[in-house]
Amino acid sequence: MKNYKLLTPGPLTTTNTVKEEMLFDHCTWDDDYKVITLEIRRKLLELAHVSEEDYTVVLMQGSGTFGVESVLTSVVGDEDKLLIIANGAYGERMEDIAKHAGIPYMIHHEVYYKVPDAQKIAEILDQNPDITHVSMVHSETTSGILNDIEAVSKVVKERNRTMIVDAMSSFGGVDIPVGEWGIDFIVSSANKCIQGVPGFSFIIANKQKLVESKGKARSLSLDLYDQWATMDKDGKWRFTSPTHVVLAFSQALKEMEEEGGIPARNKRYTDNNKLLIEKMAELGIHPYIEAEHQGPIITTFFYPENHKFSFTDMYTYIKDRGYAIYPGKVTEAETFRIGNIGEIYEEDILKLIEILTQFLKENNE
Ligand SMILES: *Cc1c(COP(=O)(O)O)cnc(C)c1O
């Protein structure tokens, strides 16, 4: 029987009550459905600590990348210039998007195990007055590092540029006061820390900047302004909405409130993560990111030393016993990753360690 929990950074393990919402085929045109979308948008504003006067929410069909692509291709005009800050594959994906769409851009690379330095970004902005927009990832899922978007947003704001954040794997799991930090566009998706299922992304946008972007979009389906203009009228989606995913997401938001909102979820994830790192250390397995910058979402671990080690063998062994883990994604070292978001609790982390301990024992003879 196919039955395991996901220790991956999304899709992740959801509750049965979230999955059960998808047993109903909802129609899309009546008020019953449209109010669900409106309510989701209202709750996301609350989670971002912003008001309806200054910010708004757009839901966009597709996976998380569709949301990032929608923002970059809709708000950075042909006369503008984007500075991409990258210390992982998701930052680099923004460059891919810019290349495909012909968006004028420059990129600032940082090594994967370091957080980009706000002072350096400030210097780049001062040397390049033609840069109008800056984009970066908050939780770089490639490594598990948590970037300091507060410090970077500050220098961007002080210089009157537009700040775009990919908070895909952190929004809902890490508290982000979007307005206070001066973030203009922040993107996440249904299947990460809110604990819904895959099918749409969402963008929390500075309303004025969104309105200014009207007519700039390079794509029809990913036109952020048009998507918003339709949805903002009464909650109707432009083009077919992923109804089952929307119902599941609405339930996931309710369950998040019941858990105690972002603070409670952050605590559970952080506790999971700390326990995981502590127990792995006892097995001689150490994280790739220094403790100071390690985020609470996913951890990259080096392969254990002095051990005949095969990731595939370990993966299969663990999966047969109830958990799916993740291969590494950093380029310069042999690593694997373990996510601890979703319906994952202390007992799961302890169970995983037990399985891994047994695997290492059996394979070290
Ligand atoms: C998951 C994720 C994305 C989106 O990936 P999709 O596969 O398109 O859902 C983007 N950025 C980060 C940091 C992510 O963790």
* pLDDT at residue 365 greater than cutoff 80: no
Same domain for 251 and 264, yes or no, is: no
What residue's CA is closest to ligand 1, atom 2?
168
Domain boundary among 257, 281, 313: 257
The 10s digit of each residue's pLDDT in 180-214 is 999 999 999 999 999 999 999 999 999 999 999 99
Distance (angstroms) between ligand 1 centre and the Cα of 127 equals: 31
Same domain for 240 and 267, yes or no, is: no
Confidence at 236, pLDDT banded by 50, 70, 90: very high
% of residues, the chain, pLDDT over 90? 94
Same domain for 327 and 244, yes or no, is: no
Distance (angstroms) between ligand 1 centre and the Cα of 136 equals: 13
Same domain for 162 and 51, yes or no, is: yes
* pLDDT at residue 29 greater than cutoff 90: no
Distance (angstroms) between ligand 1 centre and the Cα of 70 equals: 13
Same domain for 173 and 310, yes or no, is: no
Q: Which of 66, 90, 197 to mutate to test the pocket of ligand 1 (most atoms within 8 A of CB)?
A: 90
The 10s digit of each residue's pLDDT in 66-93 is 999 999 999 999 999 999 999 999 999 9
Distance (angstroms) between ligand 1 centre and the Cα of 192 equals: 9
Same domain for 219 and 301, yes or no, is: no
* pLDDT at residue 231 greater than cutoff 80: yes
Same domain for 204 and 65, yes or no, is: yes
| Ligand 1 atom showing the smallest separation from residue 169 Cα | 15
Predicted local distance difference test score (pLDDT) of residue 107: 98
Annotated binding-site ranges: 337
Question: Which CATH number belongs to the domain containing residue 298 in this structure?
Answer: 3.90.1150.10
Same domain for 248 and 265, yes or no, is: no
Predicted local distance difference test score (pLDDT) of residue 105: 98
* pLDDT at residue 109 greater than cutoff 80: yes
Same domain for 20 and 152, yes or no, is: yes
Distance (angstroms) between ligand 1 centre and the Cα of 360 equals: 31
Average pLDDT over residues 53-62: 98
Predicted local distance difference test score (pLDDT) of residue 359: 94
Distance (angstroms) between ligand 1 centre and the Cα of 343 equals: 19
The 10s digit of each residue's pLDDT in 129-156 is 999 999 999 999 999 999 999 999 999 9
Same domain for 232 and 350, yes or no, is: no
* pLDDT at residue 364 greater than cutoff 80: no
Same domain for 266 and 352, yes or no, is: yes
* pLDDT at residue 346 greater than cutoff 70: yes
Give the pairing of strands 145-146 and 105-109.
unpaired
The 10s digit of each residue's pLDDT in 90-105 is 999 999 999 999 999 9
Domain boundary among 257, 280, 311: 257
Mean pLDDT over the full length of the chain: 96
Same domain for 113 and 245, yes or no, is: yes
| Ligand 1 atom showing the smallest separation from residue 191 Cα | 9
Domain boundary among 208, 239, 257: 257
What residue's CA is closest to ligand 1, atom 4?
64
Q: How many domains does the chain have?
A: 2
* pLDDT at residue 1 greater than cutoff 80: no
Cα distances (angstroms) measured from residue 222 to each of 59, 216, 228, 325:
11, 11, 11, 32
Domain that holds residue 155: 16-257
Confidence at 114, pLDDT banded by 50, 70, 90: very high
| Ligand 1 atom showing the smallest separation from residue 138 Cα | 13
Q: Which of 94, 139, 141 to mutate to test the pocket of ligand 1 (most atoms within 8 A of CB)?
A: 141
Predicted local distance difference test score (pLDDT) of residue 96: 98
Predicted local distance difference test score (pLDDT) of residue 31: 92
Pocket around ligand 1 at a 6 A CB cut-off: 9-10, 63-65, 90, 137, 141, 166, 168-169, 189
| Ligand 1 atom showing the smallest separation from residue 10 Cα | 1
Predicted local distance difference test score (pLDDT) of residue 331: 79
Name which of 325, 364, 295, 262 is nearest 87 in CA terms.
295
Annotated binding-site ranges for substrate: 337
Distance (angstroms) between ligand 1 centre and the Cα of 80 equals: 25
Predicted local distance difference test score (pLDDT) of residue 323: 97
240 and 222 Cβ atoms separated by less than 8 Å: no
Question: Which CATH number belongs to the domain containing residue 136 in this structure?
Answer: 3.40.640.10
Least confident stretch, 81-85, 117-121, 359-363: 359-363
